Structure 1
Amino acid sequence: MKIFLNFFVFLLISCNSSSQKNKSIQFKNLNSQYNIQDVLIKTRDGAKISAIICRKNGATEPKTVILQSTIYVRDKGRDLNTIKESADRGFIGVIAYTRGKRFSPNEILPYENDANDTYDVIDWVSKQKWCDGRVGMFGGSYNGFTQWASTKKLHPALKTIVHYVANRPGLGLPMENNVFINPNYEWSFYVGNNKYLDTVAGNDRQRFRNMMFKWWETGVAYNKMDSIDGTPNRLFQRWVSHPSFDEYWQKMAPYKEDFSQINIPVLSIDGYYNDSQNSGLYYLREHYKYNPNAEHYLIIGPYSHFGAQRNGSKEINGYRVDKDALIDTNEITYQWFDYIFNNGKKPVQLKDKINYQVMGENEWRSASSIEKMSNNRLRLYLTDKKNEKIYSLSPQKPSKKNFLSQKVDFANREIGNNNYYPDPIIRDEMDLSNGFNFISEPFKESVLVSGSFIGELMVSINKKDFDFGATLYEVLPDGKLFHLSYIIGRASYSKDIENRELLRPNEITKIPFSNTHLVSKKLSKGSHLLIYLNVNKNAFSELNYGTGKTVSQETIKEAKEPLEIKWYNDSFVEIPIWKD
């Protein structure tokens, strides 16, 4: 798992009521086109939110506000430029910072207060004489999360949101399908150490990699990882104390019926290779589930977490994307705002609710829903019969129940399992060192894989729990593997992410899964599909020893008895395909 933190930090300057006026004048002298002001906005519980407002000088009529709400403080360059652009395009630009950041005197607690605080910022902004009573929001990653957080209770002034690769705390990070993953560990220092950004800690990759691998080698409990680092990580400790998707996570953003009252137009932009894709698409799926008449559009293609927030990139993880995949995210955003606020034209990319680039086909397609991206599903069983050296992925359910046996020694740190991360996207060969590979017959004609694959694993283990991984590849005619999608998950939460249901040792259990990464790609004639199946055991995420205890508290002392797992041959995956 990788995380890239290439940002800039700015000097902390003091702020009080008298200096605000001077600062506004100073900014005005620097650029006479703009009136830029610093404000502290008081929330309903007495906290203060630091914000910057940008208006065009000489403008007298109230205008619509374009708001960004973020934890990333870059107020002398990037932030000023982005709110100036809003002003240049006929709006008023406002950027507000998460409680505790910049000039806010409060404690920094990422995710926890953004729902109420962003609502309060919208309320304050909408009542200012320079605002026409309408607010739109945009931004990516954490800024995408704050937009959804603000809709948990929808303010009447908020008319639309445009989010890119939006985070959903508790679902895509810092845990994925109830498995804690490591990238947010160092991120917590980056955003939580000071009022701006701690780039020294955030860019010290070696420090955190050394810590991670020492944790892996020594086998101490996951929740003691900061003892290896030697610096207490207060945010990490808050997060790992909530392994279920409990009230702590639920209250941060819309949850279940909260989505039914979100009746504003929404534009989502995401990527097939965005690490937190299941966060962004969670919002879309739940929005339509609880509000079938929602006006919610999606643009998605072969983009990374950062690529989707910009213009994509010509190459991602070694894969050269189709020419028509590259989009101008920023331009589409403002076209959308003109469509919503100024009766402008809808962005041309929005042919229907779901708009997706087909990799390998060099074209865009549209559908009315994610489900309509495909017109068929290919059910393939993970059989115990070999096709040469590899097990068969067959459309025929085996007539006789059987299983493949695997033994995983968690005490052995020389071997790691589950190489699921799509970097590189195109691999030269498959991993035959552990786990199991299942390959289909070659396709007799080209076919589109479009959507998210699902499946059911039938297993029995000698313990009470395990973490699994399943990766979907296209095996190209030349034998190379093209990474399509993956999932990691915890068996005990496979049926309910809120409540843990431990497995009964040596009893066959059904493990359903569905929260896989969405993708669309044309498979060539002669290509195969391949599923790589394994137990999740590596240095990049929490390690589930299977005792049934809280996983973050387990240690290598629990590894005396290896995990023994039987993968039954009536396990299957369903691949969404489109046949013309």
Structure 2
Amino acid sequence: MKKQIIACLFLFVALFTHAQTNTVPDSVYLIQDSVLIPTKSGISISAIIVRKKTNTKPLPALLFYTTYYQGAGDANAGKRSADRDYVGIVAYARGIRTDLKHYAPYEHEATDVYDIIDWISKQSWCNGSVGMFSGSYTGFAQWSTVKNIHSALKTIVPQVAVMPGYDTPLENNVELNLGLYWPNDNIYKREAIRRSLPFEWFEKGTAWKNMDSLAGNRNAIFQKWLQHPAYDQYWSSMVPTPAEYAHINIPVLTTTGYYDGSQISALQYFKLHTKYNSNANHYVVIGPYDHWGGQRRPALNLMGYLIDSVANVSMMELAYEWLDHILKNKPKPALLKNKINYQVMGSNEWKHVATLQQMNNDTLTFYLHKRSLVKQKQATAAYQLQTVDFKDRKTENNFFVPQLIMDSLDAGNGLIFSTPVFEKEFAINGSFTGNLFASINKKDMDVSLALYEQMPDGKYFYLTRYIGRASYAKNNAQRQLLQPNKKESIPFTNTRFVSRKISKGSRLVIVLNVNKHPFEIINYGSGKPVAEETIKDAGAPLQIKWHNSSYIKVPVWVY
């Protein structure tokens, strides 16, 4: 998780650095920089418009909308589109490159992008057709603008799209330190936060909400987001409603990766779109990619895992092939053989199905009993006891994956549960879910549940992880505190999708834990707003009885 968050922080610096490798001389382009596009709000949007001088007739326009300004190299995002005989537009979120006082992340895309598209569609160099593409914040902006679709918008390609409040700056209602670092580095462009800050915060035991003060600068964006720990109207209003999803009839291509920090949101958009619009023309491509690989070129060596050769697919090139298909009537990309296209790690092949349900022909259910994952629910109730002393800062309960493949498993003071060795190979296809039953002596906790394959050679392959706040497990919009010392149900469904061939002789392993480390918020369980809690709220050590009625469900394809 730490690696995913850090990757998000520096992603767009890398993106524009990569873009600056364009070797075509500027003399072939008509570049208009700092164009001000009017909006109904009265706040103009700064934009760059790029055309090839040889293109004198109106063309389709491709809009790359971004919240990041990295310098003169930003124009290369427009040049890439111009090179493919489009008009390339780079438009910045309100306040970026103009007056930062107008900047409010995620809050105005639904109206501002509509006005940008309206302006583009009326220019003499545009043939009336507009497409949008690219990822992360840019992916979110595309979903926000289709709340009210402009008639000129013909397709969107939201790649590794975030969903505010759903996966960032919170994941399953657990605040991430991305909420502090992202505005500091990318919006305010202040001096990088010192590396020692998380450790200072951990040692002092101060409130999470005071992290910005500890860093030395008040961070207004960070503070605003902390006011919304639930997935409330503030967050949900930024993306389509069920009725709005039902009216999204333009073609959509989503790309993401198994190790993309924004994957749960990218797929949630797909699930909601297809749920509320039975005729949704929506394709998904997902493979062994991180946040970068899910929108640009994949890492051939992904955190120590050498991806299958068939997975070496440029998501940026795929996006342009899709745009050519929709806007220029060219053939559909060959990879898109069905609505869901996924690469099974370890098989060197892509699979193609019409629905998420068609990916599986079985579900494996395992109960957590005596440090084992067993297939049968036990007739006799039992539990595993875990104790976490939040006052003790010499030990940590943590989660850290330095590589996808590891010689040994660091449980981070959590509990390890393992299946017996599998006698036949199968594939995991999808997101594991389950229900944890626990009794605790406090009112809340943040649960961490990581899933691994222990391979026949004894090494561990990291598959995926769930992180979530127990008090929001049943309803992410309404906090329901746990009753101390009462057996409570903690269901979890919002986990990352993964597809991997599991070898004969392997076993599945989970590490069950709670958070107590420098890199994620600490939920002390007092029942107060978690961001306001300090080490003074720790009280007695957390005592958890993990009951053996707890289970996980793993979607599989049995060969």
Q: TM-score per shorter chain, which class? A: over 0.9
CA change 1:230–1:150 in 2 (3 A) is same
CA change 1:446–1:559 in 2 (3 A) is same
Q: Which moved more, 1:566-575 or 1:407-416?
A: 407-416
CA change 1:81–1:376 in 2 (3 A) is same
Letter in structure 2 aligned against 1:41 = I
**Aligned pair partner of 2:383 in 403, 414, 423:** 403
**Aligned pair partner of 1:46 in 38, 42, 45:** 42
Percent of aligned pairs sharing the same letter: 47
**Aligned pair partner of 1:367 in 353, 360, 382:** 353
1:74 is matched with: 70
**Aligned pair partner of 1:114 in 109, 115, 122:** 109
Query: Could you tell me how far apart the structure 1 residues matched to 2:165 and 2:524 are?
Result: 21
1:14 is matched with: none
- SS, match of residue 72 in structure 2: coil
Describe the superposition over 1:187-244 as per-residue Cα deviations: whole angstroms up to 9, x where unpaired.
1112221xxxx2x63xx36x0x311111111111110111211211111001111101
Residue 487 of structure 1 deviates from its aligned partner by 0.5
Query: Could you tell me how far apart the structure 2 residues matched to 1:108 and 1:41 are?
Result: 16
Residue 35 of structure 1 deviates from its aligned partner by 4.8
Q: TM-score, normalised by structure 2?
A: 0.94
Letter in structure 2 aligned against 1:49 = I
Residue 377 of structure 1 deviates from its aligned partner by 0.4
1:212 is matched with: 198
Q: Is the 8 A contact 2:130 2:152 kept in 1?
A: yes
Which aligned pairs between 1:225-264 and structure 2 lie closer than 5 A?
225-264=211-250
Q: Is the 8 A contact 1:382 1:394 kept in 2?
A: yes
Residue 337 of structure 1 deviates from its aligned partner by 1.0
Residue 253 of structure 1 deviates from its aligned partner by 1.9
Q: TM-score, normalised by structure 1?
A: 0.91
2:340 is matched with: 354
Residue 412 of structure 1 deviates from its aligned partner by 1.0
**Aligned pair partner of 2:543 in 560, 564, 576:** 564
Query: Could you tell me how far apart the structure 1 residues matched to 2:160 and 2:412 are?
Result: 34
2:493 is matched with: 514
1:26 is matched with: none
Query: Could you tell me how far apart the structure 2 residues matched to 1:319 and 1:468 are?
Result: 27
- SS, match of residue 145 in structure 1: helix
Residue 477 of structure 1 deviates from its aligned partner by 0.9
Letter in structure 1 aligned against 2:555 = P
Query: Could you tell me how far apart the structure 2 residues matched to 1:283 and 1:214 are?
Result: 38
Residue 261 of structure 1 deviates from its aligned partner by 1.5
Aligned length, in residue pairs: 545
2:443 is matched with: 464
Residue 105 of structure 1 deviates from its aligned partner by 6.3
Letter in structure 2 aligned against 1:211 = L
Q: Does 1:181 align with 2:176?
A: yes
Q: Cα RMSD (Å) of the superposition?
A: 1.8
Q: Which moved more, 1:453-462 or 1:249-258?
A: 249-258
Describe the superposition over 1:119-170 as per-residue Cα deviations: whole angstroms up to 9, x where unpaired.
1111111122222221100011111111111112222211111121111111
Which aligned pairs between 1:21-60 and structure 2 lie closer than 5 A?
30-60=26-56
Q: Which moved more, 1:182-191 or 1:563-572?
A: 182-191
Query: Could you tell me how far apart the structure 2 residues matched to 1:545 and 1:286 are?
Result: 34
Query: Could you tell me how far apart the structure 2 residues matched to 1:35 and 1:491 are?
Result: 52
Q: Does 1:283 align with 2:279?
A: no
- SS, match of residue 333 in structure 2: coil
CA change 1:447–1:6 in 2 (3 A) is closer
Which aligned pairs between 1:311-390 and structure 2 lie closer than 5 A?
311-384=297-370
Q: Which moved more, 1:428-437 or 1:125-134?
A: 428-437
Query: Could you tell me how far apart the structure 2 residues matched to 1:560 and 1:323 are?
Result: 53
Query: Could you tell me how far apart the structure 1 residues matched to 2:426 and 2:152 are?
Result: 46
Residue 319 of structure 1 deviates from its aligned partner by 1.2
Letter in structure 2 aligned against 1:458 = F
**Aligned pair partner of 2:162 in 167, 179, 202:** 167
Query: Could you tell me how far apart the structure 1 residues matched to 2:489 and 2:26 are?
Result: 65
1:13 is matched with: none
Residue 341 of structure 1 deviates from its aligned partner by 1.4
Query: Could you tell me how far apart the structure 2 residues matched to 1:240 and 1:105 are?
Result: 21
Q: Does 1:309 align with 2:295?
A: yes
CA change 1:501–1:7 in 2 (3 A) is closer
**Aligned pair partner of 2:517 in 538, 548, 557:** 538
Residue 30 of structure 1 deviates from its aligned partner by 4.9
Q: Does 1:427 align with 2:423?
A: no
2:478 is matched with: 499
Q: Which runs of 4+ in 1 moved over 6 A?
A: none
Residue 376 of structure 1 deviates from its aligned partner by 0.7
Which aligned pairs between 1:259-270 and structure 2 lie closer than 5 A?
259-270=245-256
Query: Could you tell me how far apart the structure 2 residues matched to 1:452 and 1:351 are?
Result: 22
CA change 1:422–1:267 in 2 (3 A) is farther
Structure 2: which 5+ runs fail to align? 15-24
Residue 114 of structure 1 deviates from its aligned partner by 1.7
Query: Could you tell me how far apart the structure 2 residues matched to 1:131 and 1:504 are?
Result: 61
Residue 432 of structure 1 deviates from its aligned partner by 4.8
Q: Is the 8 A contact 1:174 1:184 kept in 2?
A: yes
Q: Does 1:191 align with 2:171?
A: no
Residue 174 of structure 1 deviates from its aligned partner by 0.7
Query: Could you tell me how far apart the structure 2 residues matched to 1:304 and 1:310 are?
Result: 10
Q: Is the 8 A contact 1:379 1:575 kept in 2?
A: yes
Query: Could you tell me how far apart the structure 1 residues matched to 2:281 and 2:489 are?
Result: 36
